[in-house]
């Protein structure tokens, strides 16, 4: 072009959105939303803790416990889930109404 100016009309220009590698992008009615899809370690541990709570709640239901019954929870697990349980221990105990949350084999008379 050697310094020459060129005029382009709007019809000659195409603008495309190229999302960053770790973003999910959607556009509707002139609004664009981008969501970071990278799952951090903290988010992963929180997800594991929530899944643990869901499974304990399912077991409570199967055992016909009352909503207000306090329970003892014994578990055997992997290192990753153990970390999630320890990081979110208070949350888990509160959600499942546990008076005890302990890694290990439950006593002989425990519901399983």
Contacts of 96 (CB under 8 A, 6+ apart): 53, 56, 57, 60, 71, 73
In a domain, 79, yes or no: yes
In a domain, 97, yes or no: yes
**How many distinct structural domains can be found in the chain?**
1
In a domain, 46, yes or no: yes
CB–CB of 101/93 below 8 Å?
A: yes
In a domain, 20, yes or no: no
In a domain, 112, yes or no: no
pLDDT in 10s for each residue of the chain, 112 residues: 578 888 888 888 988 767 788 888 888 998 989 898 899 999 999 999 999 999 999 999 999 999 999 999 999 998 999 999 999 999 999 999 999 999 999 998 887 7
Task: Report the pLDDT value the prediction gives residue 15, as an integer from 0 to 100.
Answer: 82
Task: Report the pLDDT value the prediction gives residue 83, as an integer from 0 to 100.
Answer: 97
Domain of residue 88 covers 41-103
What φ, ψ does residue 50 adopt, rounded to 5°?
-65, -40
Task: Report the pLDDT value the prediction gives residue 70, as an integer from 0 to 100.
Answer: 97
């Amino acid at each position: 072009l050697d310094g020459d100016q060129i005029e382009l009309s709007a019809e000659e220009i195409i603008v495309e959105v190229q999302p960053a590698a770790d973003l999910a992008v959607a556009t509707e009615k002139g609004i664009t939303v981008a969501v970071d899809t990278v799952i951090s370690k903290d988010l992963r541990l929180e997800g594991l803790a929530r899944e643990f709570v869901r499974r304990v709640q399912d077991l409570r239901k199967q055992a016909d416990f009352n909503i207000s019954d306090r329970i003892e929870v014994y578990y055997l697990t992997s290192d990753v889930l153990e970390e999630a349980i320890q990081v979110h221990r208070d949350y888990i105990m509160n959600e499942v109404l546990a008076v005890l949350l302990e890694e290990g084999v439950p006593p002989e008379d425990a519901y399983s």
